[in-house]
Chain A
Amino acid sequence: MLRDITLGQYYQTESVIHKLDPRVKLIATVCFIISLFVVKSWIGYVVAAVFLAAAIKLSHVPFKFMVKGMKAIVFILLITVVFNLFLTPGEVLVSVWKLRITKEGLQLAVTMAVRLSFLIVGSSIMTLTTTPNSLTDAMEKLMKPLKIFKVPVHEVAMMMSIALRFIPILLEETDKIMKAQIARGADFECGNLIKKAKAMVPLLVPLFISAFRRANDLAMAMEARCYRGGEHRTKMKPLRYAGRDRIAYAVLAGYFAVCIGIRIWL
């Protein structure tokens, strides 16, 4: 069940986007999200759509695969649209029973829907084309300046990559414990909310114990392999910008300039 969520899982294939430096992709994603809030007119969204479509095309990730991963968040999208549609005051277009659809509501709902879906597709291009490890590497490198303010950048990045490594292991473990307790007559499905919450105890206690045991073992194993935080450390796969990364930055700058231009002059 939990494993069915494909949102943002790395999709192995060869493409220009896959080869880009993860820092470029991270910055591009952030810029793209900002641009969605910068532009206000329909022409702006068309530009954003073109940019997005180009990125999808270049990434070689099948569009179908991307959409499949989005199923999980369709619900959130719907709620946002419905709320905006019915709860925005303004000029009434249609009125059924107590529900009123206003012109402003309609506009807002459409904008929100577009923004949200662009935002999700945009960021999933990043996660689909970048391994979690290189993503954490990029974050570590980009946030390095924060070290001056005593932000433990390296440690946070290390924690993230370890968490990513252990998620599948813990999911499998959850499945196993669940089955074992069902074999002892446990019931995780029936009953009201309180009963269900209570039924989780035989699952959660062993899961936590196991997670702590693993954490303890892992800490020891890391120390035994000379791990002592970020200092003195070299990288097996250091990040280096290549020609294509510079081009990508140029394209991104161009896109961002256009968005700002649209905001100011159109």
Chain B
Amino acid sequence: MGIIRTESLVFEYIRRDEEGNVEGITRAVDEVDLDVRQGDFVAILGHNGSGKSTLAKHLNAILYPTEGTVWVDGMDTTDDKELWNIRQEAGMVFQNPDNQIIGQVVEEDVGFGPENMGIPTEEIWERVEESLKAVGMYKYRKFSPNKLSGGQKQRVSIAGVIAMHPKCIILDEPTAMLDPNGRKEVVRAVRALNDVEGITVLLITHYMEEIIYADKVFVMDKGKVAMQGTPREIFSQVDKLRQLRLDVPQVTLLAYELKKNGINLPEGILTVEELTEELKRIYQQR
């Protein structure tokens, strides 16, 4: 069994009008089955309102399923006894960097999680140091978060989660509010965690460039898993992605256009190098 698993997970909430009368029920997550292996880099894609953030909040026991079950490392998230273990094992990073940093100094913020867990003081310092180094923010440890760029703030948030020694990190659109440089910084840090530290990563995003390196991709729409597979399998279905309000990297799109116009390219090209190689091959054959 994987580190994170959901079985026919359903989450419904009740919509109310201004007087508090029930207007209807919205199914934000609809029969979702996930199985994430330890050490994997998994991406969850979806447009705004597709239910991907709601799903993420279940994996950290912030929300509880209406129907179905969520297991984190074998623990049922509805089991109150395991609540703090679940939150420690499945760390979470949110979208807005300003709204998740608690400390007024970088190192104090990173220490917040371990403090809550009751870790002895000396060990907190060790953990803070190693976490800040892992995301390349050690030299900013004495800074006020207000003095950092968006990408740096998000890396501090990630360090704050790593300091809790989780087995898995869930990042809920960590780059949505960042500029391209900040986005690259954060994605690089996340990939390093996965590669070097072997932490399982669940990256939720709507930026296609960020998922190229994922082991597995889930695409969500209307609360359901609409597509799943490797990035290549996903990106080979350009039309379907567009229907789901998503797009593909320019290089994939260009390859798709060329293929439509009779050039015999393979499906789901992801990088500039791949496209160049393929075109060169075809060109030399002709």
On chain B, the residues within 8 Å of A234 by CB distance are 114-115, 118-121, 124
A-contacting residues, B152-209, CB 8 Å: 160-161, 164
Q: Say yes or no for A64: interface residue by CB 8 A criterion.
A: no
B-contacting residues, A223-266, CB 8 Å: 223-228, 232-238
Are B99 and A226 neighbours in the complex by a CB distance under 8 Å? no
Total chain B interface residues with beta-carbon distance under 8 A: 39
Q: Say yes or no for A19: interface residue by CB 8 A criterion.
A: no
Q: Say yes or no for A68: interface residue by CB 8 A criterion.
A: no
Q: Give the most central of B62, B99, B103: most A CB within 10 Å.
A: B99
**With A214-B98, A220-B94, A237-B108 in contact, do A225 and B118 touch (Cβ < 8 Å)?**
no
Q: Say yes or no for B87: interface residue by CB 8 A criterion.
A: yes
Query: A225: which of B57, B146, B160 is its contact (CB, 8 Å)?
Result: B160
**With A217-B100, A233-B118, A238-B121 in contact, do A224 and B108 touch (Cβ < 8 Å)?**
no
**With A233-B115, A236-B108 in contact, do A223 and B96 touch (Cβ < 8 Å)?**
no
On chain B, the residues within 8 Å of A235 by CB distance are 115, 121
A259 and B102 CA atoms in complex are apart in Å by: 42
Are A165 and B116 neighbours in the complex by a CB distance under 8 Å? no
Q: Say yes or no for A169: interface residue by CB 8 A criterion.
A: yes
A226 and B99 CA atoms in complex are apart in Å by: 16
Are B94 and A225 neighbours in the complex by a CB distance under 8 Å? no
Are A133 and B105 neighbours in the complex by a CB distance under 8 Å? yes
Q: Scoring A residues 156 to 170 as 1 if CB is less than 8 Å from chain B, else 0, what string do you get?
A: 000001101100110
**Distance (whole angstroms) from the CB of A224 to the closest CB of chain B:** 4
Q: Say yes or no for B276: interface residue by CB 8 A criterion.
A: no
**With A223-B87, A225-B112, A226-B87 in contact, do A236 and B102 touch (Cβ < 8 Å)?**
no
Q: Scoring A residues 52 to 96 as 1 if CB is less than 8 Å from chain B, else 0, what string do you get?
A: 000000000000000000000000000000000000000000000
**Distance (whole angstroms) from the CB of A151 to the closest CB of chain B:** 21
| Total number of residue pairs linking A and B with CB closer than 8 Å | 95
On chain B, the residues within 8 Å of A164 by CB distance are 104
Are B125 and A233 neighbours in the complex by a CB distance under 8 Å? no
On chain B, the residues within 8 Å of A168 by CB distance are 146
**Distance (whole angstroms) from the CB of A215 to the closest CB of chain B:** 9
Q: Say yes or no for A194: interface residue by CB 8 A criterion.
A: no
On chain A, the residues within 8 Å of B124 by CB distance are 234, 236
A217 and B177 CA atoms in complex are apart in Å by: 15
**With A133-B104, A164-B104, A169-B146 in contact, do A221 and B117 touch (Cβ < 8 Å)?**
no
Q: Say yes or no for A131: interface residue by CB 8 A criterion.
A: yes
A137 and B98 CA atoms in complex are apart in Å by: 23
**With A220-B62, A225-B87, A225-B161 in contact, do A236 and B115 touch (Cβ < 8 Å)?**
yes
Are A221 and B164 neighbours in the complex by a CB distance under 8 Å? no
Are B99 and A236 neighbours in the complex by a CB distance under 8 Å? no
